[in-house]
Structure 1
Amino acid sequence: MTAVADTKVTLGFEAEVKQILHLMIHSLYSNKEIFLRELISNGSDAADKLRFTALGDDGLYEGDAELKIRVEFDQGARTLTITDNGIGMTRDEVRDNIGTIARSGTRHFFEALTGDQAKDSQLIGQFGVGFYSSFIVADKVTLETRKAGEPAAHGVRWESAGEGDFTLESIDKPERGTQITLHLREGEDDFLDGWKLRSIIRKFSDHISLPIVMLKESYGEEAGEAEKTIEWETVNSASALWAKNKDDITDEQYTEFYKHVSHDFQEPLARLHSRVEGNNEYTLLLYLPARAPFDLWDRDTKHGVKLYVRKVFIMEGSEKLMPRYLRFVRGVIDSDSLPLNVSREILQEDKLLEKIRSGAVKKVLGLLEDLAKNEPEKYTTFWKEFGQAFKEGPIEDFKNRERIAKLMRFASTHTDSSEQTVSLDDYIARMKEGQDKIYFITAESHVAAKNSPHLELLRKKGLEVLLLSDRVDDWLVGYLTEYEGKPLQSVAKGDLDLGSLADESDKQHVEEASKELEPLIERIKRVLGDKVAEVKVSARLTDSPACLVSDTYGMSRTMERIMKSVGQGGGVPNSKPIFEINPDHPLVVRLKFEPDDVKFGDLAHVLYDQAVLSEGAQLEDPAAFVKRLNALLQGS
């Protein structure tokens, strides 16, 4: 080790850690007992990691393969100590995992804080900063750890008073694993009581599958004197909850297990517990959270479903267990069929695991179908929190595309609400006689979609349109091209095909206007130049003077803007829109008879820019638009 690593150093917390510590120290959690569950869960995770790592190297057990967590207290010193003999940490891992919060969504977390302690405590739990909950009850925390397999001299001590900094130093630590000592604040004497600690452990951590032990004090009378003997006793049931019969598990036990595996502080929205038997046997205990975590959109996050093989932890958060569009699912899958010495590399190709994943996905979709049918309020909550992620399903999971599509919800012109409550089945049930397409529009906001000029003719005919304003929607409709045999058609791409619902008189009017306005169309094309691919008379406008339409098979204008906004516009060609004009609108009529080339050019550009603005997009040259508009208003 280097000289720097051997010395005691004082380092500052990141700004985000300071803010979180401040919130915790001021008791934002409504239940202080939660800190003990979090520290025990961390110890359980460390034991799971050692079990897996030691599959390829028994020497990591260092002669002690009996994994457990010890909870001790010292009333005189006012300390509470939680010790595990799991994988342990190196000095660098301590600095990275304890001294910082390396999670995405930190800024979002602080933006979401309201100042309301009850609401903010839920946000802290949702963010998942379990170790720091120690400072709710402690004014100093000391952590001593050593990585399994490392020499005793490679132990590390971390210590902090939960203020601006922490210290790191190297120590001799004969035992592997991690020991956390909490120096309790005044007034926290409840956590120096054996009966109280046992009740907390049984309440919150009874499901932990390795023993949680405490010192048992027993007394015997001999020769008139009290003889005191000390022995360890297991406080929890120390058995895997998912392996038990469902009838033997209470709702409270299910909930506490969810909080353990998810590090969430709220109750789950729903759960499923299932045993699959046959050639490929496995058990599922999976949960739907009630709220989306802050790292839902972090593609590097590894939280999710844990894989066990005969109760031995193997890995967590792999797409081999659950597809990306179901990344919010939490819980465990325990296989009896996979080999215990399976490696992550073998898992990449394992056919049994593919079958387990497929079965788990079907079970989750079944759970969602049950919620949608029998508990619509819960399903509404699910959709608000996870709908955008779930919409990735048809893109990613072709095999289950129809089931996923049936579960999706959208906003539509059927209601004035921006809430996504309309299913594709709802839409089809309301389709007009003779209607053979599902119409939709994509936009960058619900308001832009709802007020788009592209909807005018469909509104006039009473045709419902799905209003798609989530960023994922443009990708979605590229893969979900039909449902129940009915194609999905954008009302902002190509010619608007109403099939048998189109009036012959309307078609004739467009044809006649197109011939009559040929000179005007050519004149507009010369003025707008390479801004547009084509100028034509519109069949979809009834009130607006003009709109922009994408090519039938081209990328939508909304998609183009999204790609450019995320820095991927370099490979996206600048496609030119089709500029459609309403032949009956007074401004277009004025344009037809405008002799002044300058005024004609100003008016044509203003109509084009208005069409851009009506999409919710930004103008390339707002100043030029304002100048032209002012000139027209002044009549000059």
Structure 2
Amino acid sequence: MATSTPPVEEREFAAETRQLLDLMVHSIYSNKDSFLRELISNASDALDKVRLEAYRDKDLGADTSDLHIELEPDTDGRTLTLRDNGIGMSRDEVVDLIGTVAKSGTGELRRKLAEAKDAAGSPDLIGQFGIGFYSTFMVADKVTLLTRKAGEATGTRWESDGGGSYTVESVPDVAQGTQVTLHLKPVDEEDNLHDYADPATLRSLVKKYSDFISWPIRMEVTRTRTVEPAEEGGEETTETVVETDTLNSMKALWARPRDEVSDEEYAEFYRHVSHAWDEPAEVISVNAEGTFEYQALLFIPSQAPFDLFMRDSRHGVQLYVKRVFIMDDCDELMPEYLRFVKGVVDAADLSLNVSREILQQDRQIRAIRRRLTKKVISAIKDLRGSDPEKYLSVWTQFGRVLKEGLVSDPDNRDALLAVASFDTTHSADEQTSLQDYVSRMKPGQSSIYFLTGESRAQIENSPHMEAFRAKGYEVLLLSDPIDEMWTSAGADFEGTPFQSIAKGEVDLDDDAGKTDDEKKAAEQEKEERRKEFADLLSWLEQTLGESVSQVRLSTRLTESPACVVGDTFSFSPQLEKLYRASGQALPPSKRILELNPDHPLVAGLREAHAARPDDPALTDTAHLVYGAALLAEGGELSDPAAFAKTLAARLTAGLTLD
């Protein structure tokens, strides 16, 4: 019994898709030609996939004898059709991929599109957010898509005018692959919009944007040619012929010598593989010969993609084997902290029937990954010397991601530290390299001092900074969350260890130039101070015993009455927050309370305790001193309400009326 064909189904776009289309159709873009490049890139991907799938599945039944892309302009009918005989799509895939914006980050995209509407010369955002198909509505009043997935018998027609809905139906007798027909808008002379139904315009755009596509892009062209007379003395005549032209050179860009490729060609190839529209900040070409032979063409973007820190974002480079496309987003070839790097790797010795599981175990892939990782890090380091402005731009965009490698890739930790730049007390405007920091270290300084926190302002205002600021010691100001992780991993830079100024004991007394008698006198003065405050310190340890492990006098404070410090290997408050936010339970930890013996509050507390050791008000004061020190370093109170109540009571008691 014959089955009935499903009727035409009308569906509403998802809400975010409708908003996106409205912004796209009515926004002013710097380059509306982008739609053609996006459609050709999609078609190229479909051809790559059908060739690989036909290799893997001998029963697929796909015709791969003449894979190509075809353009068919109709000047009179004002249409442009682009078709390929690639993998095609099923009905469900059409609805999922075309009917909705499946990618995350659409809210951020809509915001940027709204901003771009009035921003002169704003960069095109189409490729950056993976919505290339929707760019067709910038130039078309209606779009019709006809497709059949390789191996399936029934095709699908999708159609929309870019409004609030679209239609989808199953149709028989559809060729393998995908055909997109654009019903073009009138040529807008004021907007200087190209006539996309003009063969000469299409030829120019393909040459400019898609010349490197590895599949032939064809177009039938009508030409008039002269016909010689059949007999001597006869007149020449003309005839009209239809010829098929291949519009692109199809040369693999990564296989061409560097000096034969222009910057513009590299830029367009970068946009093709990254689906972005910014300029590459750096091009890295690799041609490895020997035990493992491969070619690679990698790009460091100039702008971070919107999904750089999204958990479900895909990363990696394209993998080819002997010029045959294998997979997109091959993350086995690039560590996660280099997920912003785009490009192509073409290996000579891998099997074409390679899978992700095999890649994970392949010795050659691991060797290529190590080599490419070092190449990228080295390229960024070279930028610092050759083009500091471009280096700064790259570090600003991707420094936070690169620092993830300080935790995950100990083999390249030294190289990454040599590349890194950090905020520092040396300058309010410029970051510093570790090489420059070490060159400015004071005589006798054996560590690179740093302090972590949630922001530069918070770190600079921390009590821990006081003595370092007063004595002119430079401190790295680390405010990225990842800084909490790598500084806890025991890193050093060229033999110089890192030391948190919020952990362990810090003694910044400068003994250089002092006589032995002067050193002895200074140490004797410290000992007398410790004896002078011994009773107070002992009492505070008993009073605050649930919260602190020790109370001692501080050499790092000059202005604040107290601060809280950790042991050398303890977690900082920020690191504890990160672990708890990720759902990891941490055992309760006690830290050290340090007092500034020269502060009036501490001196007054010592005198009050000596005079009336049993006064309950002193206990409240002790808890307030500890709580204030905890807040000053960015920590969290265990009972904020109790702290506020105690503070209010002590402030009230301190008020006197004449």
What TM-score do the two structures reach when normalised by structure 1? Answer: 0.92
Partner of 1:214: 219
Q: What is the root-mean-square deviation in Å for CA atoms of aligned residues?
A: 2.5
1:548 matches 2:564: yes
Q: Which of 432, 442, 447 matches 2:457?
A: 447
Partner of 2:81: 81
Partner of 2:289: 277
Residues 188-587 of structure 1: pairs in structure 2 closer than 5 A: 190-220=195-225, 227-417=239-429, 419=430, 421-479=431-489, 481-496=491-506, 508-564=524-580, 566-568=581-583, 570-587=584-601
List runs of 5+ in structure 1 lacking aligned partners.
none
Distance 1:422 1:242 in 2: 35
C-alpha change, 1:585 and 1:108, in structure 2 (3 Å) is farther
Distance 1:575 1:267 in 2: 49
Counterpart of 1:236 in 2: which secondary structure? coil
Partner of 1:129: 131
C-alpha change, 1:539 and 1:499, in structure 2 (3 Å) is closer
Q: After superposition, what is the alpha-carbon deviation per residue over 1:289-340, rounded to whole angstroms, capped at 9, x for unaligned?
A: 0010011112432243111111111122233111111111111111122223
Contact map agreement 2:144 2:159 (CA 8 A) in 1: yes
Distance 1:296 1:320 in 2: 18
Partner of 2:233: none
Counterpart of 2:568 in 1: which secondary structure? coil
C-alpha change, 1:406 and 1:508, in structure 2 (3 Å) is farther
C-alpha change, 1:428 and 1:601, in structure 2 (3 Å) is same
1:589 matches 2:589: no
Partner of 1:26: 26
Partner of 2:633: 615
Contact map agreement 1:268 1:287 (CA 8 A) in 2: yes
Distance 1:506 1:422 in 2: 35
Q: Which of 615, 621, 625 matches 1:603?
A: 621
1:139 matches 2:144: no
Distance 1:169 1:136 in 2: 24
Partner of 2:516: none
What TM-score do the two structures reach when normalised by structure 2? Answer: 0.89
Q: After superposition, what is the alpha-carbon deviation per residue over 1:577-600, rounded to whole angstroms, capped at 9, x for unaligned?
A: 222221221111222233474432
Counterpart of 1:191 in 2: which secondary structure? coil
Partner of 2:232: none
Q: After superposition, what is the alpha-carbon deviation per residue over 1:184-226, rounded to whole angstroms, capped at 9, x for unaligned?
A: 1223570111101110111111111111111121234679986
Partner of 2:6: 6
Greater shift after overlay, 298-307 or 425-434?
A: 298-307
Greater shift after overlay, 506-515 or 220-229?
A: 220-229
Tell me the amino acid that sits aligned with residue 521 of structure 1: L
Contact map agreement 1:73 1:81 (CA 8 A) in 2: yes
Contact map agreement 1:68 1:211 (CA 8 A) in 2: yes
Q: After superposition, what is the alpha-carbon deviation per residue over 1:411-470, rounded to whole angstroms, capped at 9, x for unaligned?
A: 1111123x5x21111111001111111111111111111221112222222211111100
1:628 matches 2:646: yes
Shift of 1:137: 0.6
Contact map agreement 1:71 1:81 (CA 8 A) in 2: yes
Distance 2:508 2:300 in 1: 41
Distance 1:38 1:496 in 2: 59
Contact map agreement 1:214 1:233 (CA 8 A) in 2: yes
Distance 1:517 1:435 in 2: 29
Greater shift after overlay, 221-230 or 550-559?
A: 221-230
Larger radius of gyration: 2
Tell me the amino acid that sits aligned with residue 45 of structure 2: D
Contact map agreement 1:220 1:227 (CA 8 A) in 2: yes
Contact map agreement 2:318 2:327 (CA 8 A) in 1: yes
C-alpha change, 1:5 and 1:406, in structure 2 (3 Å) is farther
Residues 85-124 of structure 1: pairs in structure 2 closer than 5 A: 85-111=85-111, 114=115, 116-118=118-120, 121-124=123-126
Tell me the amino acid that sits aligned with residue 534 of structure 2: E
Distance 1:437 1:507 in 2: 23
Contact map agreement 1:414 1:464 (CA 8 A) in 2: yes
Tell me the amino acid that sits aligned with residue 515 of structure 1: K
Q: After superposition, what is the alpha-carbon deviation per residue over 1:144-203, rounded to whole angstroms, capped at 9, x for unaligned?
A: 22221112x2x2222222222222222224322111111112235701111011101111
Contact map agreement 1:434 1:501 (CA 8 A) in 2: no
Tell me the amino acid that sits aligned with residue 612 of structure 1: L
- Residue-pair matches, total: 628
Contact map agreement 2:315 2:336 (CA 8 A) in 1: no
Distance 1:252 1:96 in 2: 35
Shift of 1:227: 4.3
Greater shift after overlay, 374-383 or 125-134?
A: 125-134
Shift of 1:132: 1.2
Shift of 1:123: 4.5
C-alpha change, 1:65 and 1:532, in structure 2 (3 Å) is farther
Tell me the amino acid that sits aligned with residue 96 of structure 2: D
Contact map agreement 2:319 2:345 (CA 8 A) in 1: yes
Contact map agreement 1:126 1:294 (CA 8 A) in 2: yes
Partner of 2:515: none
Tell me the amino acid that sits aligned with residue 578 of structure 1: I
Tell me the amino acid that sits aligned with residue 579 of structure 1: L
Distance 1:386 1:552 in 2: 30
Aligned-pair identity in percent equals 48
Partner of 1:181: 181
Greater shift after overlay, 187-196 or 523-532?
A: 523-532
List runs of 5+ in structure 2 lacking aligned partners.
189-193, 230-235, 513-518
Tell me the amino acid that sits aligned with residue 563 of structure 2: C
Counterpart of 1:535 in 2: which secondary structure? strand
Distance 1:311 1:62 in 2: 20
